[in-house]
Amino acid sequence: MAKGGYRGAMGGGMNMNMIKQAQKMQQDMLKMQEEMEAKEYEATVGGGMVSARVNGKHEVLSLSINPEAVDPDDVEMLQDMVVAAVNEAMRKADAETAQNMSRLTGGLNLGGLF
């Protein structure tokens, strides 16, 4: 046996310290996830014609359409603006979540965990 005896794969106390750090990171991630899910994000497109508000759980909370945007001869444009507003609000939510997750993990890529 090597000098000093067998200390396991991680080397004694360092293993417990890593476990504690991982548990704290997990708790911090869960707290952050809850906070992000409760936040609201809004996007407006078409010069203010359509606005969408979503939360961090990707649920549409409200959709506002200016009556001037309603043209019976061009329903497709209104549909496109609605889709664009919802997608932009979702992108804002995703970008903030990614930024906060990166800050929490110190840039460590954890794959698709959150």
pLDDT of residue 3: 56
Task: Using pLDDT thresholds of 50, 70 and 90, give the confidence band for residue 114.
Answer: very low
Give yes or no for a contact between 90 and 55, defined as CB atoms under 8 angstroms apart.
Answer: no
Q: Where are the domains of the chain?
A: 28-105
Identify the residue whose tokens are 């997990």.
Answer: 26
- The CATH number, out of the four listed (3.40.50.2000, 3.30.1310.10, 3.90.1150.10, 2.60.120.650), of the domain defined by the range 28-105: 3.30.1310.10
Per-residue pLDDT for 109 more than 70? no
* Mean pLDDT across 20-47: 89
pLDDT of residue 65: 96
What whole-number distance in Å separates Cα of residue 49 and Cα of residue 36?
Answer: 27
Per-residue pLDDT for 14 more than 80? no
Give yes or no for a contact between 53 and 41, defined as CB atoms under 8 angstroms apart.
Answer: yes
Backbone angles phi, psi at 111, to 5 degrees: 65, -140
Task: Using pLDDT thresholds of 50, 70 and 90, give the confidence band for residue 18.
Answer: confident
